[in-house]
Structure 1
Amino acid sequence: MTELATYNKPGAAADSIEEPMDLVLLSLKEKVFVKCRFGRELRGKLVAYDEHLNLMLSDVEEKITTSDIDPLTQQETIKVQKKNHSLIFLRGDLVIAISPTPQTA
């Protein structure tokens, strides 16, 4: 069993990116944007993660986008659902992309 990362990488500079997971490490305790499979998007504070990209996020805003096509008219209907969560655990196999949220001036 692996532990979730909540520490700084030993021997690395505080702001260096030497490998892809360093970007995630530098985003620890910061707001991130996570694009997931099945039309889900999450924005929240990255609390912890592991090498499988399992994530724990707090203060999460979730957006779920679904679409349906009417078989008779072939017209597409897009539905957006929004939810808020205080804490969420996200399995790494659902993650497509993770990005730091841009800082506003």
Structure 2
Amino acid sequence: MTKRPMDILDQVLNRQPVLVSLKGGREIRGVLQGYDVHMNLVLDKAEEEINGQPASIGTLIIRGDNVIYISPSVQ
């Protein structure tokens, strides 16, 4: 059975961290709390690596037109 993108997002919703790559080269890791058809995302426990050090952001809303990809991540 072929999985659709939304099926994969449903599998990780509120369970495991995802890695979100954004336009401009930023990458943010966090627990996916919700999303919509425009790929607007709500991440909890979000963090970004800055100068090799993780920087905690907390809860974050990412506008979908900034998303390049979303990947289930390994901690």
TM-score bucket (shorter structure): 0.7 to 0.9
The answer on whether the counterparts of 1:37 and 1:96 sit within 8 Å (CA) in structure 2 is: yes
Distance of 1:58 and 1:83 partners within structure 2: 13
1:40-62 deviation digits (Å, cap 9, x = unpaired): 10000111111111000011111
Moved over 2 A (4+): 79-83
The answer on whether the counterparts of 1:61 and 1:83 sit within 8 Å (CA) in structure 2 is: yes
Residue 23 (structure 1) shift: 1.0
TM-score (normalised: structure 2): 0.82
Residue segments in structure 1 that go unaligned for 5+ positions in a row: 1-15, 65-78
Structure with more of its chain in strand, by fraction:
2
Residue type matched to 1:97 in 2? Y
The higher-RCO structure (CA 8 Å, 6+ apart) is 2
Q: Give 1:84's aligned residue.
A: 56
Q: Is the partner of 2:31 in helix, strand or coil?
A: strand
Distance of 1:38 and 1:25 partners within structure 2: 27
Let me know the Cα RMSD of the aligned residues: 2.2
The answer to whether residue 46 in structure 2 is matched with residue 60 in structure 1 is yes
Identity of aligned residues (%): 42
Which of 28, 42, 57 aligns to 2:13? It is: 28
Change (3 A) 1:39 1:81: farther
Q: Is the partner of 1:24 in helix, strand or coil?
A: helix
